[in-house]
Structure 1
Amino acid sequence: MRKYKIGEFSKKVGVTQEFLKHYQNNGILIPNEITEAKYRYYDQRNASTVLEIIKNKNYGFSVKEIEQVFRHRSTAEVLSLMEPKIEQMQKQLIFMEGVIEEYQKLKQFCEETRQDQWFVKSVEAFYFLPHVDIQGFIDNPLIYEILPVWTQWLPIVKSCQKCPACQHADYIWGLSVPQQAAKQIGLPVNSCVQACNGGRFFEYHSIFFLKEKQENPIQKALLQMETLGLEPVGSVFRNILMYTEYQTDSSIEHSVLYIPFKDKNTSSDGSGLNSEIR
């Protein structure tokens, strides 16, 4: 049976020489022969070991776990080791699919929103996690118990400003996420998280040039609602989609505002009132 030096063998099996040495050093991939001069020789039988290593590596196994799979684990034990790794991959897949979906929404927003636009739409229920008010970081330890998990799911979770429609200078910054998405990705929710019921909302799409002295998006949205005879009910929620030229004097904010309302003429409302999770 023909033998191959490490350089030729690595090319034949599609890995680097460092790969072969690494798994040899961990006792998993032993060359067919090592000469007194320390030259490594492999044959075609070593190729199947390389393929098994790559396969198990792709399943998420560490080097130590691969060694255990090769020598010490039964079929049932190997499947048991795989299960949490596959669960983690499924979670990563949900995240990647969510990021792709958010990108597609962002792209559509940027293509269609050449100037501010408004809609009256049905909006699904969402959560709001408060974080910062006009005084600084909110002093509630429950926030910081779950905040690190929430931020890991940006941009599915979004930076969000909340303020009373009647006093939008009294703002709170935090994070928002649709309740259905939160459930799907397993976001932790505790008593500091506020829930906003779904319903009909006034939805305002804004491109805001921060440098220019102009009405901010909340002021413009409320003015448009006044023109339409819509009365804000409860709080304004302003989701930040993206900043461009973020650290320059020409920073541009792309955002969507959601405002529950009632029609002054018909007394119907959007049912988007705030409630806390108890």
Structure 2
Amino acid sequence: MRTVPDVWFLPHTLNGEFLPDDRIYDQLPQWLDWLPLVTSAQTVQMGPDGKLNAEWGLGLEQTEAEQIGFAPKEPAQLLHQGRVLEIYCSYIAPEEGSSEGELYRRCMERARQLNLVPGDILFRKVFCYTRKDGDCWVHCVVRVPVRLPE
């Protein structure tokens, strides 16, 4: 558990569908100019209907954005991080489907095992993808905002 900076997040897909918002694609070149500070990122959040909503996009820590003088515009969102359970992981990317559901479940379960109360959102920052023996590996850090029980 640690305290981390807030993160700017520019979504471009929701549940596998590209978002039809020109404001995203107008600023995309400026975001990509700052690779590798800008990374592939994802949020996964439980909706009121009990279904997971997974958004892929780009992420940049707020402190890094300030250091380089980068000012994201809407629809970029500033995600409050604060105290988080931080889990580093590497896994084989599924050939079909997605890994969000299992990852979300495991992270929330781990927080509860540690007697922490997790928030309802997960933030995944992807460091890189590698290939080994024909498999695509994902290397990332997952953050779940947490608090102590009352």
Matching residue of 2:75: 192
Matching residue of 2:125: 239
In the alignment, structure 1 residue 175 sits paired with structure 2 residue 58? yes
Ranges in structure 2 where 5+ consecutive residues have no aligned partner: none
Aligned pairs for 1:124-203 (under 5 A) are 124-165=5-46, 169-203=52-86
* Residues 251-278 of structure 1 deviation map (CA, whole Å, 9 limit, x = unaligned): 11111011112223x3xxxxxxxxxxxx
In the alignment, structure 1 residue 221 sits paired with structure 2 residue 107? yes
Q: Is the 8 A contact 1:159 1:239 kept in 2?
A: yes
Q: Is the 8 A contact 1:204 1:258 kept in 2?
A: yes
- Deviation, 1:197, is 2.5
TM-score w.r.t. the length of structure 1 is: 0.47
Q: Structure 2: how far apart are the matches of 1:150 and 1:163?
A: 21
* Residues 87-126 of structure 1 deviation map (CA, whole Å, 9 limit, x = unaligned): xxxxxxxxxxxxxxxxxxxxxxxxxxxxxxxxx0110122
Aligned pairs for 1:46-195 (under 5 A) are 120-165=1-46, 169-195=52-78
Q: Is the 8 A contact 1:165 1:233 kept in 2?
A: no
Report the 3-state secondary structure (helix = DSSP H, G, I; strand = E; otherwise coil) of the residue aligned with 1:180: helix
Report the 3-state secondary structure (helix = DSSP H, G, I; strand = E; otherwise coil) of the residue aligned with 2:53: coil
Matching residue of 1:59: none
Letter in 1 for 2:113: T
Letter in 2 for 1:132: T
Q: Is the 8 A contact 1:208 1:216 kept in 2?
A: no
- Deviation, 1:209, is 1.9
Which structure has the bigger radius of gyration? 1
- Deviation, 1:187, is 2.3
Residues 255 and 165 (structure 1 numbering): CA distance in 2 closer, same or farther, change over 3 Å? farther
The answer to which structure has the higher helix fraction is: 1
- Deviation, 1:219, is 2.7
TM-score w.r.t. the length of structure 2 is: 0.83
How many residue pairs are counted as aligned between the two chains?
144
Residues 168 and 225 (structure 1 numbering): CA distance in 2 closer, same or farther, change over 3 Å? farther
Residues 155 and 218 (structure 1 numbering): CA distance in 2 closer, same or farther, change over 3 Å? farther
Q: Structure 2: how far apart are the matches of 1:211 and 1:259?
A: 22
Q: Structure 2: how far apart are the matches of 1:175 and 1:183?
A: 16
